[in-house]
Amino acid sequence: MKVWAEGKPGVEKVLEKLRAYGLEICSDDPEIVFPYGGDGTILKIREKYPKSCLLGIREKSVGYIAEIGGIGQLDSALERIKKGDYEIEEASMVELLCKKLRITGLNEVYFERWLEKYDYATRFRVFIDGKDWYGDELFGNGCMAASAKGSTAYNWSCGRGMLLSSSSKSFIFTPMSSMHLNKRTVAYAQETNDSISVAKPAEQILVPEDKEVVVRVTLGARSRFASDGLVRGFRELKKGDEITFRKSEETARFVKLPRPVLG
């Protein structure tokens, strides 16, 4: 079995252990890649090795994607791999399309107003199956779609309302820092408890895997498009432009070590 390891400083120790278990060390089309670091490291390495299975090893970083908590757990993991005692998980990804731009992400894809040239909030309407989902024009920074893997990442900091199980094929759509243009709600001041009429925040949407979300721009601005934390391009959005979010046909493959059944 051809394997490889990349990542944060200290990855040399991972390579040493792989050699010790008699595995073939090769960076050319490896069957399994061992990313060493946090979620950001795993995302970058998945993009570099899209056909390989990943078995993440968490360094000191906060992360949710890694299967192994540290190098100290690697020996037991390698013993199970040598015995074939593992499973392959096909993780869902998400996709964004705008004009000639198409980007995919394991965690998320999004567009947002480019603040270097800030004039006004982007305005838009959101459609699913032709239905104006919110029944109102929204205004805010942009929009994002997050996969099950990505639901604990940028999605959580932007929406903090929805999470998905890792096996889910659905995705979460989030209007980023966005509110209704014509709908109001009442909030209360923390110190005085005075009531204040404010714009109603736009809620997240749980989107089934066979549905698409179409964002139709009503007032645009220069925006940047990104996936998994990396900028993929810039576009000048104008009235009538559409951005489509959907589940990607691509998947990411991860090695999963079955947990022992207790009792």
Token digits for 53? 């299975």
The residue to which tokens 């480019």 are assigned: 114
Ordered structural domains, the chain, with CATH: 2-85 (3.40.50.10330), 93-248 (2.60.200.30)
Instruction: State yes or no: pLDDT of 262 exceeds 60.
Output: no
* Distance in angstroms (rounded) separating the CA atoms of residues 7 and 41: 6
6-32 residue pLDDT tens: 999 999 999 999 999 999 999 999 999
Radius of gyration of the chain from Cα atoms?
Answer: 21
pLDDT of amino acid 194: 87
Would you state the torsion angle of the CA atoms of residues 63, 68, 72, 75, taken in this order, to the nearest 10 degrees?
-160
- Look at 46-50, 101-105, 198-202 and tell me which has the smallest mean pLDDT: 198-202
Exposed / middle / buried, residue 237 (Cβ in 10 Å: 0-12, 13-18, 19+): buried
Residues 6 or more apart whose CB falls under 8 angstroms from that of 261 comprise none
pLDDT of residue 118: 59
Q: What's the pLDDT band for 263 if we cut at 50, 70, 90?
A: very low
pLDDT band at 225 (very low <50, low <70, confident <90, very high): very high
In the predicted structure, residue 148 carries a pLDDT above the cut 80: yes
Contact indicator for 144, 162 with CB cutoff of 8 Å: no
- pLDDT tens-digit map of 93-130: 999 999 999 999 999 999 999 876 657 889 999 999 99
Tokens describing residue 76: 């037991």
Contact yes or no for 52/73 (Cβ under 8 A) = no
From the CB of residue 119, how many other CB atoms can be counted at a distance below 10 Å? 8
The pTM of the full predicted model, rounded to 2 decimals, is: 0.90
For helices 11-20 and 74-83, what crossing angle results, to 10°?
40
> What string of DSSP letters covers 16-39?
HHHHHTT-EE-SSS-SEEEEEESH
